[in-house]
Amino acid sequence: MLFDHEYFFMMFRMTPAKFEDLLAKVGPSLIRDNRRGDAISSSERLCVTLCYLVTGDSFVTISGSYRMNATTVGRIVKDTSKVIWDVLCAEGFLKVPQMSTEWLSIAKDFEKKWHFNNCIGAIDGKHVSIQCPPRGGSLYFNYKKFHSLVLLAVVNANYEFTMVDIGDYGRMSDGSVFASSNLGHAIGHQLLDFPAPRIFPGTSIQFPYVFVGDDAFPIRTNLLKSYPRGLINERDKIFNYRLSRARRIAENVFGIVISRFRVFRRSIIAREETAVEVIKAIVALHNYLMHDRPKPLLHNQLCNIFAS
């Protein structure tokens, strides 16, 4: 399979070279006691976990493919997912900006790519379908009529996660999750070292740096949403359009994640703590795979290539 790169990519959503690089990072933390001589290797543990995340097949189905017990597959998925999250976060693939210069870099990308000034992130929530936990009642039952955990995320202009809050009950709305989360507390109390407000060229007004979200979120000094639908003037419609260009990046990221890791297209049949570890691993893997992706060629570059 290593020689058939197309099939390998279809199975694991990454090239063999990327897989080997990921294995080099997480492999040492996956090694188990091999005194009996039958311990499962770190590469096989990673393959089993990626197979589950990419296909969404049940533990029983994957156990037949890898000739393991279904309980063993479930334990491997949980443990390996935790290692993936811990290692990739330690490597800096998911890092909350700590200084104002890092926020300014994100704002510059939004201004350059999506033509929205002073934007330091797009925020949105996703309901990840799960099997209702024992005695879960209606806590996990959301307005879309299925049981879920909420993934609240902030993304940058390059389709990468910068901050996430995972594990709230599905019955809560995005606004409620935001209000009760550490993320919402940090944004509301300005604990993230935001840059100083900026004076736009041609004006004398100072504009703060903001996150952009949809109607589910409240308006705050550093959180902006569009004007409500109804009788709004042309200027407000233009503002809504420009804001939606930046805000939709969060929705696009979720679309990319669902397309890449199809476990999100089904209910996660596992314990709640395993489901949380799976979601965390997918977030980290998404950033890892997006980090070194090929940059799109500009029109002038394409012309020069074809001209030569």
Confidence at residue 306, expressed as pLDDT on a 0 to 100 scale: 39
CA dist., res. 189 & res. 183, Å (int): 10
**Residue of higher predicted confidence among 60 and 31:** 60
Confidence at residue 40, expressed as pLDDT on a 0 to 100 scale: 87
Nearest alpha-carbon partner for 285 in 33, 7, 52 = 52
CA dist., res. 159 & res. 154, Å (int): 10
pLDDT of 38-78, one tens digit each?
678 999 999 999 999 999 999 999 999 898 999 999 999 99
Mean pLDDT estimate for the chain: 88
Q: What is the DSSP string of 133-188?
A: PTT-TTTTB-TTSSBEEEEEEEE-TTS-EEEEEEEEETTS-HHHHHHHSHHHHHHH
Confidence at residue 300, expressed as pLDDT on a 0 to 100 scale: 47
CA dist., res. 215 & res. 210, Å (int): 15
User: Helix-strand-coil percent breakdown of the chain, rounded to 5?
Assistant: 50, 15, 35
pLDDT of 142-159, one tens digit each?
999 999 999 999 999 999
Going from N- to C-terminal start, the domains of the chain cover 5-90, 100-270
Copy the structure tokens of residue 207.
């504009």
Residue with tokens 């200084």: 99
Confidence at residue 38, expressed as pLDDT on a 0 to 100 scale: 63
CB 139 within 8 A of CB 171: yes
49 sits in which H/E element: helix 42-55
- The DSSP 8-state label assigned to residue 262 in this structure reads G
